[in-house]
Amino acid sequence: MTAPLVELRGVEKRFGGVYAVTGVGLALYAGEVVGVLGHNGAGKSTLMKVLSGALPLDAGEIRIDGRPVSIQSPRDARRHGIETLYQTLALAENLGAAANLFLGREIVTRLGTLDDHAMERAALEVIRRLSPHFDDVRTPVQNLSGGQRQMVAIARAIHFDARVLIMDEPTAALGPAESGAVGALIARLKAEGLGIFLVSHDLHDVFEISDRVAVLANGRLVGVRNTSEVTREQVLEMIIGGADSA
């Protein structure tokens, strides 16, 4: 079998003396969706933030294509093809959709100045693939609806040829039509060979989309299952009980 796209080994993250995540090992293969489940405070978001570079890990290692890599910052993660959709969206409210989409990776002219028109055009293209009626990439995103803002954040995560996508509650702010579009998008990205971590509270979503589920409780990995081989009740029991039932 080929090496996993991403492998977390013995990952540990402390805040002060408190272990937010400890001893977690988890692999993600190309072309699969792994649902990450757990209560609030179980360590899902912390684990994902370690991988996205927002929080440097305290112990353990991250391997990409079987090789250990150092991810100290979001920039490092992006360089390794890891893109993240944060639950908070992480948008600068005072900037337009285009400026947000390209933040940190601006298109510049030959003189090195920002090429806003090129960024606006590219942004419009990618956002419209998700949300066909989107038309204003300049208005500060604080004036957009929750769903539109979510689309901007998703567009940012997929525009830069990611290999690994971390999606933290991607459909939380969306209506049914938009949720459907995101589901279809995930299926397409998966078919293109991306690996996707899907963090969600919504068991229904996770069972619908993911190939495997990983359950966390109290900062530890309870277990990993093939979605097709477990029932929701079993997974719920793992989430609540914090013990491997199956």
Partner 1 sequence: MSLAQRLREAELDPRLLGMGIALVAIWTVLDATTGGVFLSARNLYNLAVQSSVVGIMATGMVFVIVARHIDLSVGSVLGFTGMAMAVMQTEWLPADAGWNWPVSLAAGIALGTAIGAWQGWWVAYRGVPAFVVTLAGLLMFRGGAYLLTDGRTVAPLHATFQLIGGGLEGSIGTTWSFLLGGLAILATLASRALRRRSRRRHGFAPLPLWAEVGRCAVAVAIIAGFVMVMNAYTRPRSEVGRGVPIPVLILIATALAMTLLSRTTRFGRYVFAMGGNPEAAALSGVDVKRVTVGVFAWMGGLAALAGAVTTARLAAGTNSMGTLAELSTIAAAVIGGTSLAGGVGSVPGAILGAVIMQSLENGMVLLGVSSALRQVLIGAVLIGAVWLDSAMRRRRTST
* Interface ranges with partner 1 (CB under 8 A): 52, 54, 73-75, 78, 84, 86, 88-95, 99-100, 103-106, 108, 112-114, 117-118, 120-121, 143
Grouping H, G, I as helix, E, B as strand and the rest as coil, residue 189 is helix
Instruction: Report the nearest approach of partner 1 to the CB of residue 86 (Å).
Output: 7
Q: What are phi and psi of 26, to 5 degrees?
A: -155, 140
| Closer residue to partner 1 in complex, CB, 108/243 | 108
Return the residue matching tokens 């979001």: 74
Instruction: Report the nearest approach of partner 1 to the CB of residue 142 (Å).
Output: 8
Is the alpha carbon torsion for 99, 101, 104, 105 positive or negative? negative
Instruction: Report the nearest approach of partner 1 to the CB of residue 52 (Å).
Output: 8
Tokens of 231: 């029932």
Query: β-pairing, 220-226 with 212-217?
Result: antiparallel
Instruction: Report the nearest approach of partner 1 to the CB of residue 54 (Å).
Output: 6
Instruction: Report the nearest approach of partner 1 to the CB of residue 55 (Å).
Output: 11
| Closer residue to partner 1 in complex, CB, 52/171 | 52
Closest CA to 174 of 136, 192, 196, 200: 200
| Closer residue to partner 1 in complex, CB, 94/226 | 94
Element at 70 (helix H, strand E) = none
Cα three-residue angle 215-44-192, rounded to 5 degrees: 85
| Closer residue to partner 1 in complex, CB, 37/166 | 166
| Closer residue to partner 1 in complex, CB, 121/232 | 121
